[in-house]
Chain A
Amino acid sequence: MTAKKNRLQSIGAKARAVPLFWWWVAFLLIPITFGLVSGLWVFYKGLGVTNLTDGAPWGLWIVLDLSCIGLAAGAFSLSAMTYLLGRKEYQPLARIAVFIGLLGYSGALMCLILDIGRPDRFWHGWVYWNIHSMLWEVTMCITLYFSVLALEVFPMVVELPLFNRFKRLQHFGHSVHHFAPVLAVIGMCLSLLHQSSLGGTYGVVVGRASLFRATMPLLFIVSAVASGMAFSVHMTLIVQWLKKRTLVPLSVLFEVGQMAGAILLVYLYMRFWDTTVGNYGYSPGRTEAFTSLMSGSFAISFWSWEIILGGLLAAYLLIRARQAQSVAMLLIGSGLTMGGLVANRLHTTLLAFTEPLTESPAVTSPLVSHYFPAWTEIGTGIGIVAGLTLIFSLGMRYLPAYQGEPVEIPEEAVAPTVSAVPVPAGD
């Protein structure tokens, strides 16, 4: 028995002469190259190489941007819980969430740079203010919050042995770390502002009936908090499984998952009444749009991804997982929540541009656009996601803050109890 085990181990060691991790990095470099090529092509040729039109001026990049920011919401909500509500046991999870947040906002900024027609004028938002514009508010908040996240991640990066030669940088990192609660407050304020303003960006569009809803900011922020927290849990579980180390105690993951599930239920409740009340009777444009969402061309994707899988089932799994002490339920539930958020942002965006603008006093105009992303948009989208995954993988592998406890979860325990995982006594 032991001999067999030893032999297996030695085979494993030989097979890992080139560690699996580097195969993973090499695999990621393929889509990253593809993304770089298509990104440069977009910058060189302009937005004419996309499938965006005057009728559907926003597309895949905006969906990706909204999804990245939504999924990054775990950073502010978990930081706020750690530093403002004093739940110190959440700190390891908040650290991972902050790293995910930084990557999410980097992705969002990359999408926006690709999406604007004049990338050379990206700085105009900071210089020429239009304080009435939701998008201006979002621009300011995103860039400011990106700096806050960078400051929060900075102390963890300078802990790398690479920076041992730069003692002053490390000292600066330590002093920044002392201001973590302050950063959490600033981050929470900025996030509460722009997560809802992203919904507001759509909500103020008076001419597009399916978007023009006062509930949009609320729906956006509540769904972002639920899936942001779930996404942090999801990624932590995957990292722990791959590293065979405990970064965050399972009890914390179960607790946060349950919270995310509860918030998701609140969101579904709000969404139910928003849709029901909004569709009571006929309002031009809006009724047509919601009909195509619920029983038209969007119906299958809407009901399956947004409501059943990404909504009800996800909430059930997240809430039930803690009681059942089932890691699988937590993993699937949090993954589905993430899918639900992406589906929601996708449907909201596409629906807005396929509904007709009523041009004539009597007749709805033929301005119904069709949109499917071009290879340039898909290529850059995949490239951005792969790039973020690569940086996430590298960070989880090398950053000292994410090394966790060298404890293997006993294999015989299908549902490990809290006591099986020693809680770190402190640094």
Chain B
Amino acid sequence: MSTPTRTREMTRREFILLAAGMGISLFGADRLYKWFVAHEDPLGEAAHSEINKNGPYWAMVIDLQTCIGCRRCVYACQATNDTANGHLWNILLEDEDTFAKPVFITRPCMHCEHAPCVEVCPVQATFHREDGLVAMDYDRCIGCRYCMVACPYGVRVFNWEENDGENPQVPTWGEPEVPRRPRGVVEKCTFCAHRLDKAEERGLIPGKDPAATPACCVICPTEARVFGDLRDPSSPASLKLAGRQSVVLRSDLGTNPRVFYLLPNEQA
């Protein structure tokens, strides 16, 4: 009762099928890697992202290790974007780590890839720009404040009143570069998009040249907050991210923010 054994050459048909199958599997594995593994790594994710494929992938990196909580980024933001008192685009939250050591978290807009505010706005007054940043159209906003209800980070502020007071941070921390928003619309951090948009024309590189970089990153005295293109390995943001462990806020919500925080408990 011996089992018949058969040995023969592989046919051409079988060889082609096998090769094609292996190729498809490799391609699939690569895709799977990009889907699941690359998401762990911001640089890899930016490189593979479909957003603004041939342009920059803007990101901000905030180092909780070196942030000293001086609030200069808060003041510079208020001066540059001319926001009203008590309605700041960029705020400082004071926390403690597990050893009761103070941790300072500054919080701009996250410019999420899957931004809840963009999805809920009934009139598309808040939208994704070509380069993936979340922007506001103040002429279209009806002031329903659904985006404020939806934003998981609480970054949005509403113009409850006409902003006609003096800006206490001018001129100490900067000069206003954008017009004030009218009463009754929602506003938020723009990553100083007005500076980014002028960069190419002026021959500047955002992240490296101060005039093309968000005001909060320019003023930071400890370089805890840097900006740049994650697709450019030499940008300050990429350099800072490389080799460090980073987190995004509320990653459980799947919003995929563009603001990365470097954890504070690493011994430098």
Contacts and interface: CB of A to CB of B under 8 A. Distances in A.
A169 to B, nearest CB: 35
Contacts of A201: 146
A359 B249 contact: yes
A300 interface: no
B166 interface: no
Contact of B154 (A54, A112, A118, A363): A54
Q: In which size bucket is the chain A interface?
A: 35 or more
Interface string A39-51: 0000001111010
A132 B140 CA distance: 17
A117 interface: yes
Interface of B: 87, 93, 95-98, 103, 105, 107, 116, 119-125, 140-146, 148-154, 156-162, 183-186, 247, 249-250, 253-255, 261
Nearest to B126: A130
A301 interface: no
A130 B185 contact: no
B153 A357 contact: yes
A139 interface: yes
Contacts of B255: 206
Contacts of B144: 112, 115-117, 135
Contact of A365 (B93, B122, B124): B93
Contacts of B153: 207, 357, 359
A117 B159 contact: yes
A352 B150 CA distance: 11
A128 B93 contact: no
Contacts of B161: 45-46, 48
B250 A358 contact: yes
A207 B151 contact: yes
A275 interface: no
B96 A121 contact: no
Given A124-B140, A359-B249, A135 B160 contact: no
Given A207-B253, A360-B105, A54 B142 contact: no
Contacts of B249: 359-361
A205 B116 CA distance: 7
Given A128-B140, A361-B247, 20 more contacts: A54-B157, A54-B158, A57-B149, A58-B145, A116-B184, A128-B123, A128-B125, A132-B120, A133-B146, A135-B120, A135-B144, A139-B122, A204-B120, A206-B116, A206-B150, A207-B150, A359-B93, A360-B103, A361-B249, A361-B261
Nearest to B157: A54
A118 B95 contact: no
B123 A124 contact: yes
Q: Which residue, B149, B152, B160, B247, has most C-beta atoms of chain A within 10 A?
A: B149
26 contacts: A46-B160, A46-B161, A47-B160, A48-B161, A57-B148, A58-B145, A115-B144, A117-B141, A117-B186, A118-B143, A121-B140, A124-B122, A128-B123, A128-B140, A130-B123, A133-B146, A206-B150, A207-B153, A207-B253, A359-B154, A359-B249, A360-B95, A360-B249, A361-B247, A361-B249, A363-B95
A52 B158 CA distance: 10
Contacts of B103: 360
B93 A125 contact: no
Interface string A323-344: 0000000000000000000000
Given A116-B144, A121-B142, A208 B123 contact: no
Interface in A104-158: 112, 115-118, 121-122, 124-125, 127-130, 132-136, 139
Contacts of B148: 54, 57
A31 to B, nearest CB: 26
A11 interface: no
Contacts of B93: 359-360, 365-366
A162 interface: no
Given A360-B95, A362-B95, A117 B146 contact: no
A122 B142 contact: yes
Contact of A130 (B97, B124, B154): B124
B160 A48 contact: yes
B97 to A, nearest CB: 7
Interface string A225-241: 00000000000000000
B142 A136 contact: no
Contacts of B119: 132-133, 204
A410 to B, nearest CB: 54
Contacts of A130: 121-124
B84 to A, nearest CB: 11
B197 to A, nearest CB: 23
Q: Which residue, A127, A362, A366, has most C-beta atoms of chain B within 10 A?
A: A362
Contacts of A361: 247, 249, 261
B142 A206 contact: no
Interface in A338-374: 352, 357-363, 365-367
Contacts of B125: 124, 128
